[in-house]
Structure 1
Amino acid sequence: MPNTWIVEQSETRVLVTRRKPVRWDVSARAEFPPCKALRLAHQIRQDMWRELQKIKGFCPAVEVELGEVFQVRAGGRVARHVHPLASEWVEDLLNSNTHRRRWLAYAKART
């Protein structure tokens, strides 16, 4: 499948999604320290996809609002039935210390 990710970047926001308009059927929020927002968004998207690919019709999206502290919203659209625990799974992922350390190390790397 070709890389068909939609990436929108501005001075205040980064969005990575597969479809527009973004629909947040499943979502969770977390704060992150400033870093390379696009790299952070892609890392979260990848791990979220790995976690939620069991949900049929899941289309991930990650939005990073830039500021002194980055506000991240992760989740996305679900084409079929939304699993009642899906948002909780995303929240658990965003709060996983192991994932956060890896994402931030990558997003702060000098490449």
Structure 2
Amino acid sequence: MSRKRWHIDVQEGCYTLARHWPPRFDVEARAVFPAARPGRLAQQIRQDLWRKFQHLRGFSPVIQISEQTGADGLIVRAGGRVMRPLPAETANRITALLENPAHRARWISWAQERRT
């Protein structure tokens, strides 16, 4: 049985998680998050993004997390590749997911830097 693999690209200040490579944003939304571990944050957002859009045939999630220039935070770019026409409200639904207080609290809690 083959295992589905995710592509991860880590560059200085930028973390990208995508199902297909190269990543492509046919639809996207952005949001600002506090400092956190990018890999953990990306995984959590990807899971909820997939749950919300799994019915959208041909959808392949992409999450890109960049350090915010001159600030202590992250810019999250979420969306992905779509092989079929998109419903008009798709980008707004991604924005609503990224701005949902309950989701944000769970994602941030999971991805916060642990200090010992």
TM-score by length of structure 1 reads 0.93
Alignment coverage as a number of residue pairs: 110
Which residue identity lines up with residue 85 of structure 1 in the other structure? E
- Please list the CA deviations of residues 29-72 of structure 1 after superposition, one character each: whole Å capped at 9, or x if unmatched: 00000110110011000000000111111000000002322011
Higher Cα Rg: structure 1 or 2? Answer: 2
Give the structure 1 partner of residue 109 of structure 2.
Answer: 105
Give the structure 1 partner of residue 31 of structure 2.
Answer: 30
SS at structure 1 position matched to 2:77: strand
Written as runs of structure 1 = structure 2, the 5 A alignment for 1:15-94 is 15-67=16-68, 68-94=72-98
Task: For structure 2, list consecutive stretches of 5 or more residues without a partner in the other structure.
Answer: none
Is the Cα contact below 8 Å between 1:55 and 1:83 reproduced in 2? no
Give the structure 1 partner of residue 9 of structure 2.
Answer: 8
Is the Cα contact below 8 Å between 2:36 and 2:113 reproduced in 1? no
Runs (4 or more) in structure 1 with deviation over 6 Å come to none
Q: What is the percent sequence identity of the aligned residues?
A: 38
Alpha-carbon distance in structure 1 between the residues aligned to 2:107 and 2:4? 21
Alpha-carbon distance in structure 1 between the residues aligned to 2:33 and 2:4? 26
Alpha-carbon distance in structure 1 between the residues aligned to 2:12 and 2:113? 21
Is the Cα contact below 8 Å between 1:31 and 1:71 reproduced in 2? yes
Is the Cα contact below 8 Å between 1:22 and 1:76 reproduced in 2? yes
CA RMSD of aligned residues (A): 1.2
Task: For structure 1, list consecutive stretches of 5 or more residues without a partner in the other structure.
Answer: none
TM-score by length of structure 2 reads 0.89
